[in-house]
Amino acid sequence: MRTIATPRTDRHARAAWRSTPRRWLALLLFLTALVPPAAPAQPALGPFKSERATFRVVQIAAGLEHPWSLAFLPDGRMLVTERPGRLRMIGRDGRLEAAAVEGVPRVAAVGQGGLLDVVLHPRFAENALVYLALSGVSEPDGSGTGTDIVRGQLVATPTGHRLQDVQTIFRTQPRSTRGFHFGGRLVFDRQGMLHLTLGDRGEMPRAQRMDDHAGSVIRLHDDGRVPADNPFVNTPGARPEKFTLGNRNIQGAAMHPLTGELWTHEHGPQGGDEINVIRSGRNYGWPVITFGVNYGLGTRIGEGTARPGMEQPLHVWTPSIAPSGMAFYSGVAFPGWKGNLLIGALRGRALHRLELNGEKVVREERLLADAIGRIRDVRAGPDGLVYLLTDERAGQLLRLEPAGGR
């Protein structure tokens, strides 16, 4: 039976029709205000010609404050650290999530310190664990800061993401009041061991002390326990977490895709930046031997450039390029770069491409000189492309893409 509205019902219907758009419009405007507008597409830079590739530089995200490190999530999203203390999520479409990831501990963003590296647990798809290297806040007794490792589970929230069940699994000891040489790179090896690189905190003798974490590479289980086969576990007075000693300030580290060994680079003083292969119990010489000299004076540091029982670097830069970030390239997008080592430069404001023959650098090419700024991190993405972070107040996440030609 057809229902015919009475005059009263019809008046209510007309009133509802008139008011509903207003309610929906108000709701729509409110929701729209919560969503940041998409950043306008930026034109690609380039093309740039490498000896073995032609590429362009595409901006993925902007407005990052001194970004330090990048990690790729399995679903194509990315995590980026900002040195002042924020962990940011970037979507697959390049959109920067408006709110920083919650739950990140407060950091001491002083000098070169702050929120540094970010890496995922090798079984992140199962446990959602994220690891951060950061300069922990000053101690109540005034003894200063140190580079610490924290981990937490990444979970979604109604407004974004947060880390839950956050734990500090390693604390550098002793602490320091100086604002230099925090190191801060994190790398998992094939056995699931976690490595942290540490600087000497600007106090040179600390790098040769066995009872001091500074100036070394630290090796841990994924929960912070000390591996039984660490080289100094049974050495009286030594810090059992130490894997090496004699390192000045390592800000680039990556596992070799064929050998599984950890390669690093570290800052020299005035000159003498180095590439090293990190091996258990080895002494890398600082400050007893170095290819650098005293700032402003040009005078020799230590005993010279070599001493028995101390490692020689694979490659040295003099003058310094201030290296930061490091990745082996094994993708297919740039076949001419296969097996190359890619290293960012802060002082040199460039990307260095190194061709290798085993553990020997046989050719070096300087790319993007002064084109994009200080390069803080370099990553080879799961898509076979190369990603860079620029260390600026308005830093960027950039991607290198093939642009045709050789």
Report yes or no on 293 lying in a domain: yes
Q: How many CA atoms lie within 13 A of 284 on its CB side?
A: 33
d(CA 315, CA 208): 22
CATH code, 378? 2.120.10.30
Q: CA nearest 274: which of 334, 219, 207?
A: 207
Would you state the pLDDT for residue 21? 43
Distance, first Cα to last Cα, the chain = 77
Would you state the pLDDT for residue 292? 96
**Residue 54, pLDDT above cutoff 90:** yes
Choose the catalytic residue: 66, 121, 181, 265: 181
Report yes or no on 30 lying in a domain: no
Give the number of residues written for the chain. Answer: 406
Q: Are 334 and 53 in contact (CB under 8 A)?
A: yes
Gyration radius from the chain CA atoms: 25
pLDDT band of 348, cuts 50, 70, 90:
confident
d(CA 73, CA 79): 7
Report yes or no on 3 lying in a domain: no
Report yes or no on 364 lying in a domain: yes
What value does the mean pLDDT take over residues 141-163?
96
pLDDT band of 4, cuts 50, 70, 90:
very low
Would you state the pLDDT for residue 43? 76
Q: Are 63 and 398 in contact (CB under 8 A)?
A: no
Report yes or no on 1 lying in a domain: no
For residue 225, the enclosing domain spans 43-402
Q: CA nearest 380: which of 348, 353, 349?
A: 353
Would you state the pLDDT for residue 41? 54
What value does the mean pLDDT take over residues 156-171?
97
| pLDDT tens per residue, range 208-241 | 999 999 999 999 999 999 999 999 999 999 999 9
Three-state secondary structure readout of the chain: CCCCCCHHHHHHHHHHHHHHHHHHHHHHHHHHHHCCCCCCCCCCEEEEECCCCEEEEEEEEEEECCEEEEEECCCCCEEEEECCCEEEEECCCCCECCCCCECCCCECCCCCCCEEEEEECCCHHHHCEEEEEEEECCCCCCCCECEEEEEEEEEEECCEEEEEEEEEEEECCCCECCCCCCCCCEEECCCCCEEEECCCCCCHHHHHCCCCCCCCEEEECCCCCCCCCCCCCCCCCCCCCECCECCCCEEEEEECCCCCCEEEEECCCECCEEEEEECCCCECCCCCECCCECCCCCCECCCECCCCCCCCCCEEECCCCCEEEEEECCCCCCHHHCCCEEEEECCCCEEEEEEEECCEEEEEEEECCCCCCCEEEEEECCCCCEEEEECCCCEEEEEEEECCCC
Report yes or no on 21 lying in a domain: no
Q: Are 328 and 340 in contact (CB under 8 A)?
A: yes
| Percentage of the chain lying above the pLDDT 70 cut | 89
Report yes or no on 167 lying in a domain: yes
Would you state the pLDDT for residue 296? 85
Mean pLDDT of the chain: 91
Report yes or no on 23 lying in a domain: no
Q: Residue 127 is which amino acid?
A: N
Would you state the pLDDT for residue 12? 39
| pLDDT tens per residue, range 94-124 | 999 999 999 999 999 999 999 999 999 999 9
User: Any idea of the CA torsion for 381, 384, 388, 389, to the nearest 10 degrees?
Assistant: -20
β-pairing, 262-266 vs 78-82, is: unpaired
Number of domains in the chain: 1
CA geometry: angle 147, 148, 153, nearest 5 deg: 145
Would you state the pLDDT for residue 11? 39
Would you state the pLDDT for residue 269? 95
**Residue 17, pLDDT above cutoff 80:** no
* 256: annotated active-site residue: no
Would you state the pLDDT for residue 406? 52
| pLDDT tens per residue, range 363-382 | 999 999 999 999 999 999 99
Would you state the pLDDT for residue 8? 35
**Residue 166, pLDDT above cutoff 90:** yes
The partner residues of 48 in beta bridges, in order of sequence, read 55
- For tokens 């020299």, the residue is 268
What value does the mean pLDDT take over residues 59-66?
97
**Residue 84, pLDDT above cutoff 50:** yes
